[in-house]
Structure 1
Amino acid sequence: MDSTLAVARKYVDAVAGLFAEDIVWHQPGANRLSGVHRGSAAVDQLLGAMMTISGGSFELSVIGVPMVNADQVAIPVHFAGQRAGGELGQDGVDVLRIEGDRIAEVRLFSSDQEAEDAFWGV
Structure 2
Amino acid sequence: MTAKEVVEAYSIALSLGDIPSAFSYFSPDAKWHQPGNNKFSGTKTGLEAIGKMLGDMMSATQGSLVIEPTGAMMVNGNFVSCPVHFRAKCGTKSIEMNGNDLYEVVEDKIVQVWLFSEDQSAEDLFWN
What TM-score do the two structures reach when normalised by structure 1?
0.87
Corresponding residue pairs, total: 113
1:19 paired with 2:58, answer no
Aligned match of 1:4: none
Query: Aligned partners of 2:94 and 2:86: how far apart in 1?
Result: 11
Over 3 Å counting, the alpha-carbon distance change for 1:12 and 1:119 in structure 2 is: farther
Change beyond 3 A, Cα 1:66–1:88: same
Report how far residue 34 of structure 1 moved: 0.2
Q: Partner letter of residue 101 of structure 1?
A: D
Match of 2:44 among 30, 37, 41: 37
Aligned to 1:98: 105
How far, CA to CA, are the matches of 1:60 and 1:14 in structure 2? Answer: 17
- Equivalent position of 1:88 in the other structure: 95
Distance change >3 Å, CA 37–CA 67, structure 1 → 2? same
Cα gap change, 1:13 to 1:48, in 2 (>3 Å)? farther
Partner SS for 2:63: coil
1:47 aligned onto 2:54: yes
Deviations 1:28-75 (A, max 9, x none): 000000001001110000110110111001011010100000000010
Supply the distance in 2 between the matched residues of 1:84 and 1:14 (Cα, whole angstroms): 30
Distance 1:85 1:38 in 2: 31
**2:111 is the counterpart of 1:109:** no
Given the alignment of the two structures, is residue 120 of structure 1 paired with residue 122 of structure 2, yes or no?
Answer: no
User: Superposition RMSD on alpha carbons, in Å?
Assistant: 1.5
**Contact 1:60/1:79 (8 A) holds in 2:** yes
Q: How many angstroms does 1:11 deviate by?
A: 4.5
Contiguous gaps of at least 5 residues in structure 1: 1-9
Question: Percent same amino acid at aligned positions?
Answer: 38
Give secondary structure in 2 for the equivalent of 1:64.
coil
Question: Which of 60, 66, 84 matches 2:67?
Answer: 60
